Amino acid sequence: MAMLHNVARLLQQARRVAVLTGAGVSQESGVPTFRGPGGLWRQHRPEDLATPEAFAKDPRLVWEWYDWRRGLIAEARPNPGHLALAALEDRFEDFTLITQNVDGLHRRAGSRQVVEIHGSIWEVRCLDCGDLREDRRAPIPILPTCSLCGGLLRPNVVWFGEALDPVRLEQVREALVRAQVMLLAGTSAVVQPAAAFGLWAQQAGAVLVEINPVPTPLSLRCDYVLKGPAGEILPALLAALPQPGGGL
Ligand code: OAD
């Protein structure tokens, strides 16, 4: 708990904050993480499904996996971790929430300055004509086709081996360089380039704080590690900050 109060004190003094979230932040909303218990789907690892090669070989299998995740996410609600991050945004002059999650739960919780580096599970893109649109059908017909040209649709998410959108990556870079404190919440810190974001921020001067019930490859590099679920730690951090307009 002493550690939590130290981090709260740091946040109290900071004006510019960046956060990187991963699947762990949505775990308490009932969305399984990729590498934890329940992460395997029909014995497939995400690295074997979320690739352009897997989709080219067996688009039906990949779509069945995404359809399963879309169904879970459609039922999910933001949890106290998402809500605490949305509330934290109002406490800082400069607050950027970078997320690897494609579930849209941060925005639903009220976060506004969100950079979704891996895209959105609710968008589809035509492989033939490139048409990009929102598609919230759950279940989605498998295989889904483009209403304009009949081409095969794919989820508009970033797969392994694909580059991040350069505009979003630049937004991330700028936020990391500005940040005085960076929180890493609910990410296993093994998928690049996101796994390196914390270290980039730290090199540029930010204090690095990890929030995770389990150690990650970055834990030893972090300045503080708050061990526990994001849905408990983030609300506790928020509660430890002075209330806005609350006087002394
Ligand atoms: P992972 O599934 O790799 O890691 C989830 C992390 O969340 C682990 O470190 C868990 O210990 C932690 N965790 C579990 N429950 C938690 C909780 N309640 N509160 C806080 N932390 C908790 O997910 P990511 O790091 O997001 O990419 O994975 C990165 C990328 O790999 C994903 O964006 C996705 C995936 O394949 C693509 O689809 C391209």
pLDDT at 247 over 60: no
Rounded average pLDDT over 17-36: 95
Question: Cα–Cα distance between 190 and 35 in angstroms, integer?
Answer: 10
Contact between residue 38 and residue 240 where contact means Cβ atoms under 8 Å apart: no
Return the sign of the alpha-carbon dihedral for residues 43, 46, 47, 53.
Answer: positive
Question: Cα–Cα distance between 91 and 102 in angstroms, integer?
Answer: 25
Q: Write out residues with Cβ below 6 Å of ligand 1.
A: 22-24, 27-28, 33-36, 39, 46, 50, 100, 118, 157-160, 186-188, 191, 212-214, 216, 229-231
Tokens at 111, concatenated? 């976060």
Q: What is the DSSP letter of 221?
A: G
Task: Please indicate, yes or no, whether residues 88 and 201 belong to a single structural domain of this protein.
Answer: yes
Rounded average pLDDT over 14-25: 98
Which pLDDT value is given to residue 246? 62
86 lies in a domain? yes
* Domain interval for residue 23: 2-30+78-118+164-240
More confident residue, 246 or 129: 129
Task: Please indicate, yes or no, whether residues 65 and 90 belong to a single structural domain of this protein.
Answer: no
Task: Please indicate, yes or no, whether residues 138 and 213 belong to a single structural domain of this protein.
Answer: no
pTM over 0.85: yes
Question: Cα–Cα distance between 31 and 109 in angstroms, integer?
Answer: 15
Which pLDDT value is given to residue 1? 66
Q: What is the pLDDT of residues 117-134, one digit of tens each?
A: 999 999 999 999 999 999
Q: What is the pLDDT of residues 161-219, one digit of tens each?
A: 999 999 999 999 999 999 999 999 999 999 999 999 999 999 999 999 999 999 999 99
pLDDT at 41 over 70: yes
Task: Please indicate, yes or no, whether residues 174 and 225 belong to a single structural domain of this protein.
Answer: yes
What is the residue with the minimal CA distance to atom 9 of ligand 1? 188
Residue 37's pLDDT band (boundaries 50, 70, 90)?
confident
Question: Cα–Cα distance between 87 and 90 in angstroms, integer?
Answer: 6
Which pLDDT value is given to residue 2? 82
Task: Please indicate, yes or no, whether residues 187 and 227 belong to a single structural domain of this protein.
Answer: yes
CATH number at residue 208: 3.40.50.1220
For residue 66, which phi and psi values (nearest 5 degrees)? -65, -35
Atom of ligand 1 nearest to the CA of 188: 9
Atom of ligand 1 nearest to the CA of 216: 9
143 lies in a domain? yes
247: Cβ–Cβ under 8 A, 6 or more apart, which residues?
none
**Neighbouring C-beta atoms of residue 65, cutoff 10 Å:** 19
Task: Please indicate, yes or no, whether residues 60 and 97 belong to a single structural domain of this protein.
Answer: no
Task: Please indicate, yes or no, whether residues 14 and 100 belong to a single structural domain of this protein.
Answer: yes
Q: How many domains does the chain have?
A: 2
Q: What is the pLDDT of residues 120-176, one digit of tens each?
A: 999 999 999 999 999 999 999 999 999 999 999 999 999 999 999 999 999 999 999
Task: Please indicate, yes or no, whether residues 112 and 193 belong to a single structural domain of this protein.
Answer: yes
Which of 102, 128, 157 represents a domain boundary (last residue)? 157
Task: Please indicate, yes or no, whether residues 22 and 130 belong to a single structural domain of this protein.
Answer: no
Task: Please indicate, yes or no, whether residues 182 and 234 belong to a single structural domain of this protein.
Answer: yes
Task: Please indicate, yes or no, whether residues 172 and 109 belong to a single structural domain of this protein.
Answer: yes
247 lies in a domain? no
Task: Please indicate, yes or no, whether residues 25 and 38 belong to a single structural domain of this protein.
Answer: no
Which pLDDT value is given to residue 43? 85
**Neighbouring C-beta atoms of residue 45, cutoff 10 Å:** 12
Q: Among candidates 136, 147, 153, 146, which has minimal Cα distance to 70?
A: 136
Contact between residue 164 and residue 157 where contact means Cβ atoms under 8 Å apart: no
CATH number at residue 137: 3.30.1600.10
Could you tell me the distance, in angstroms and rounded to a whole number, from the CA of residue 33 to the centre of ligand 1?
A: 5
Active site residue 106: no
130-153: burial string, b at 16+ Cβ within 10 Å, e else: eeeeebeebebeeebebeeeeebb
